[in-house]
Homo-oligomer: A and B are copies of this chain.
């Protein structure tokens, strides 16, 4: 036995997040995930229940990593005020998505929410993050809303590559946003 199935699943999920992040659910063949994980396509289908099952599981892994990063970031906050804790969470998130995979996967997942299983996975992910942010930071509804609004703005900045554009309108949208 080279490896246990459970360990394989973990490594496959992490590569799946990266691979799906580039071109999305429908444009990514399972072969691509299998090749990137170094195993055969057939075995991926044995480990997960179809391509959809793989994608949904990858979404779970994606939000797990985001939640863990934000929780760890909160521990490093400079103070106890909601604003300070939110700031620390935002910094942690910005650091995490520097490699773009987790951010792009979220965009891809949101784009296939017409598939009910994906929609539920996305809701579950944001439920976990939003409740944690609100409880841990003790932030107001408006503060939480703002936190997520500017998080979503990052999605636009990265997908459209606005941080590469020197024109004033693009600068307006990107200034102050932590380094994505």
Contacts and interface: CB of A to CB of B under 8 A. Distances in A.
A43 interface: no
Interface size of A as a range: 35 or more
Nearest to A111: B111
A170 B167 CA distance: 35
A142 B153 CA distance: 13
A126 B160 contact: yes
A172 B24 contact: no
Q: What copy number does this chain have within its complex?
A: 2
Nearest to A167: B127
Contact of A141 (B22, B26, B149, B171): B171
A155 interface: yes
B127 A169 contact: yes
A110 B160 contact: yes
Contacts of A170: 127, 130
Contact of A145 (B27, B108, B127, B175): B175
A126 B148 CA distance: 20
A160 B113 contact: yes
Contacts of A119: 159-161
Contacts of A127: 167, 169-170
Contacts of A22: 114
The 7 lowest CB-CB distance pairs between A and B, nearest first, are A111-B111, A26-B26, A152-B152, A130-B169, A141-B172, A149-B153, A149-B149
Interface of A: 22-24, 26-27, 107-108, 110-114, 119, 122-123, 126-127, 130-131, 134, 141-142, 144-146, 148-150, 152-153, 155-156, 159-162, 165, 167-173, 175-176
